[in-house]
Amino acid sequence: MYVYIDGDIEEAGAARLSVFEHGFMYGLGLFETFRIYNGHPFLLDDHFRRLEEGLREMNVSWVYDRQQVLEQVESLRKANAWDNAYVRYNVAAGTGMLGLTANEYTAPTIVIYMKPLPPAEEERTVVKTGRLLTIPRNTPETSKRLKSHHFLNNIAGKREAGDNPEVEGLFLNEAGKLAEGVVSNLFWVKDDTLYTPALDTGILAGVTRAFVLQAAEKHSVYIREGHFDAAHLYHADEVFVTNSIQEIVPFSAVDEHTFRNNCHSITALLQKEYAKGREKLWKAQDLFL
C-alpha cells in the first residue's frame, strides 16, 4: 500500500512525519473521507469546500485547488492500482516549535491514505442496528463541528457500542437530544416525514447528509430538522444513517425497537437517488488528466 505525503508517493511502512508536526502535537488537522467509484471521486467539491472552510477556522492557510487535488488523488490511485477505493485526505497544520501559537499556519502537511473497496454494484446490501449511547456527544470546540483529529469522543462511543461493524452507536448531545452516529449522520421517517437532527445540535454537516436532504426535497418529501428526544426515534417507521463510505444504511432496529425495510420506503427511494448520482458521475467526462 502506498500513501501520499507532501508531493511524494511512499510505501506506507516507509512514510515519515516530523515529531514537531502540530497536527500530531496538538490535534490541529482536518480530514475528508470519500469514495472513488470506477476511477472517479464522488462529491469531491462538497468535501473540499467543507475542508477549506474548516481549516480557516483552525487558522491553517490552505486553498482548495480542484485540479491539484485531482492530480494528487489520481497519482496515489495509480500507484495502488485501485479503481474503487476509500480515500482519506488529511491536512495537518504543519511543523512548528513546542508551545501554542496564535499565528497562522502557512505550510500545512498533506497526507493522503487509500484502501481498496469493491465496486458499488458488487457490494451486499447492508442493514445495521443502532444502540443509543450513554456517553454524550461532546460540544464542538469551534462555532461548528469540524472533521478534525480530535476523535476521542468518537472512539469512546465506538468502545461502548462494541466491535460489531453492523452495530452503530448513536449519540445524544449534552442536552439529551438526538445527535449523530459514531461515524454517521442520523435520519428517520415517521408518517412520510423525514427527520434529522439540526446542525445546531452539534453534529457534523455531513456531505452525504446534504445529498440526502437535496434528494428528499427533489421528491417533495417533507423534511423536519430540529431537536428531538430519543422517544421520537423509537416510534419511527424507518431509520437510516449516512456517511460517504457506507452511503445510506437502513436500520432494522434501535435498541429493542424494530423498523420496516422495503423497496417502497423513503430510505429505498433515497438509496436509488444516491445510485443515480454515482451513475451520472461514471457517465460524465473523465475528471482526471
Task: Say which DSSP state 55 is in.
Answer: H
Average pLDDT, integer, range 239-246: 97
Residue 281 has pLDDT above 80, yes or no: no
Amino acid letter, residue 202? G
Average pLDDT, integer, range 153-162: 98
Q: Kindly report the CA angle at 266 between 278 and 160, in degrees rounded to 5? A: 85
Q: Tell me the three cell numbers of residue 55.
A: 481549516
**Residue pLDDT, tens place only, 255-269:** 999 998 777 799 999
Q: Tell me the three cell numbers of residue 151.
A: 476523535
Q: What is the pLDDT of residue 282?
A: 57
Residue 91 has pLDDT above 90, yes or no: yes
- Which of 59, 54, 64 lies closest to 30 in space, CA to CA? 54
Residue 122 has pLDDT above 90, yes or no: no
Task: Say which DSSP state 66 is in.
Answer: H
pTM: 0.94
Q: What is the pLDDT of residue 29?
A: 97
DSSP 203-250: ----HHHHHHHHHHHHTT-EEEEE---HHHHHT-SEEEEEETTTEEEE
Q: What is the pLDDT of residue 285?
A: 44
Q: What is the pLDDT of residue 279?
A: 82
List % helix, strand, coil for the chain (3-state, nearest 5): 30, 30, 40
Percent of the chain whose pLDDT exceeds 70: 97
Coil/strand/helix, residue 132: strand
Pinpoint the alpha helices (H) of the chain: 22-25, 44-57, 66-80, 152-161, 207-218, 230-234, 266-283
Average pLDDT, integer, range 113-141: 92
Rounded Cα gap, residues 22 and 30, in angstroms: 12
Integer Rg of the chain from CA: 19
Domains of the chain: 2-121 (3.30.470.10), 128-279 (3.20.10.10)
